[in-house]
Structures are given as structure tokens and as C-alpha cells.
Amino acid sequence: MKRGYKRNDFIRLADSPKERSFVYALGRGFELLRCFGTDERFVGVAELSRRSGIPKPSVARLAGTLVRLGYLEFSPKHSKYSLGIGVVSFGHVFLSSLPVRDKLRPLLQRLAEYAQITVSVGMGDRQSMVCIDSIRGSSVLESRHSDVGVRLPLASTSMGRAYLAGLPEEQRHAVLAQLRDLDLHGWAKTEEGIMQALRDYRLHGFCVSTGEWKKGINGVAVPFTDTDGNYLVVDCSAAEFVLSKDKIENDIGPRVINIVKSIST
């Protein structure tokens, strides 16, 4: 999967009359930070260059600057970089600025315990969803797939599909075009699942994913805008024997809709 802008995308942003405020060097620095994920702690210059589309000499200079600022750390043992402690405060400040999380938590906790499922809240970021909160029923096994900060695919998860369903039509078409460009060979099947989710949303008020993201895992999600104007998604997921399609349609889906209505009004 592609990560970040290609080099030409930065040039186009910097030169566009509509983007005169875009600082090319600053953008590349932040793009480098996006190249780190949960799959590996240390990443070298060559891999950072491949993921970001930024030339290796520039990557080395940018990484050196980010190390001095505390946002990256360099490991002499591995000759690679990892995220530094400086990035932690960004996430904390951002999450603290969303009072909707505190309002949602008791409602989601009750739902998670009632159904013994995982209930998460996510926000969109480029071509993925980012989990900003997650609560598990007491008997649900831990899974890093729903941890806070984890990225989930837009196209195949119930969370991502609900996000697409709630977007204004013009914006949704733009995002779908980006997703198509990233998945040209598998797009026909992916698009079929998304279109079904959009129909589900129009008919039931929620979007469903039954094993498309991970085999044996079902999910249901509802998008909403909170009173501060933040666009979020509440998502429920569990093994298919716990969260069957019938239970989704006749129990959990309507419960999530009611939770969202109580928060967004």
C-alpha cells in the first residue's frame, strides 16, 4: 500500500495558486513522520525514501533535523530511526481536545459489555481510518487491531465504509477516486462492497462489513458529526458467531444509531 505523497504531489501543492501557504520543506518533514507504523519500530533512510517518495539525501537531512527536535530518535545499533518521545504530546493534546470521547465512553462501555464486542470510535485521515478510542467487553480477547492510533482501511472495514457513506457526495467521489488509484486491479470487487455498504446506510442507517477486512470478523458502523463539528464513526466488531448479520440488523445496528443520535443532537 502506498504511504504519503509522491514527490510530484508536493511540488504541485507548493506551486498551486490555491496552496501558497504550503511550506514544502515542512510538509516533507511531517510526511516522514507518517512513514512509521506499528509493524516495525526502526526504519532506515532507504525505506523512508521509498515510503515517502522523498530522495534519500533529503530524507537524511530531514531525519537529522527531526532528531534534534525530539520527534525522531537514531539508533546507532540498527543505523535506523524510530519515533521520538516528542510525538506523544501531539496525540495526547489532540485526544484531549475531543470532549465527545468522554461523552461516548459510558454509552459504548455499556454496549461493549452487553454484547461482548469491541466498540471503537474513528476519524478519517487520507485513505484510512484512525482509531481514537476503543472499548472491549470483559470477555473479549485483546487485539491490537483496534488500539488507539491504529490505522484501518477505508474500503473494506465497516468503519471506513460508514465514513464514506456519511460524506457529502462530491467529497465521497473524490475519496473513491483516490482509493481506486491505489487498488486498480482489485477495485471492481472492492467497489462492489462499498456500493452495498452505501445501500445499507440508505436503507438501515448503518454500514456492515462481513468478513471482507478479516475473515470471520463482522462489523457495523454509523457516522455522525458531533456538536463541535467533528466528523466521526462509531464501530462495533466481533467474531461472526458473536456478531451475526441478523444480530447486526436487528439489535446492534439500531443500538449504535440511538447512541449516535443522543450524542449528535
**Phi and psi torsions of 213, nearest 5°:** -85, -55
DSSP assigned state of 229: S
User: CB under 8 Å to 19, separation ≥6 — which residues?
Assistant: 13
| pLDDT tens per residue across all 265 residues of the chain | 334 434 334 444 444 445 667 888 899 999 999 999 877 889 999 999 999 999 999 999 999 999 999 999 999 999 999 999 999 888 889 999 899 999 999 999 999 999 999 999 999 998 899 999 999 998 886 666 678 888 899 999 999 999 999 999 999 999 999 999 988 888 999 999 999 999 999 999 999 999 888 899 999 999 999 989 999 999 999 999 999 999 999 999 999 999 999 987 6
What is residue 265's predicted lDDT score, i.e. its pLDDT? 66
User: CB under 8 Å to 81, separation ≥6 — which residues?
Assistant: 42, 43, 44, 45, 48, 63, 67, 72, 73, 74, 75
Strand-pair partners of 135? 119
Q: Which domains does the chain have, with CATH numbers?
A: 7-89 (1.10.10.10), 98-264 (3.30.450.40)
Measured CA to CA, the distance from residue 36 to residue 121 in angstroms comes to 22
What is residue 143's predicted lDDT score, i.e. its pLDDT? 65
- With DSSP H G I counted as helix, E B as strand and the rest as coil, what are the percentages for the chain, rounded to 5? 50, 20, 30
CA-based radius of gyration for the chain: 20
Answer whether 0.95 is exceeded by the pTM.
Answer: no
Q: What is the per-residue pLDDT across 117-144, written as a single tens digit (0 to 9) for each?
A: 999 999 999 889 999 999 999 888 666 6
Alpha helix stretches (DSSP H) within the chain: 7-15, 24-33, 45-52, 56-69, 88-96, 100-115, 158-166, 169-182, 187-204, 245-247, 253-264
What is residue 7's predicted lDDT score, i.e. its pLDDT? 38
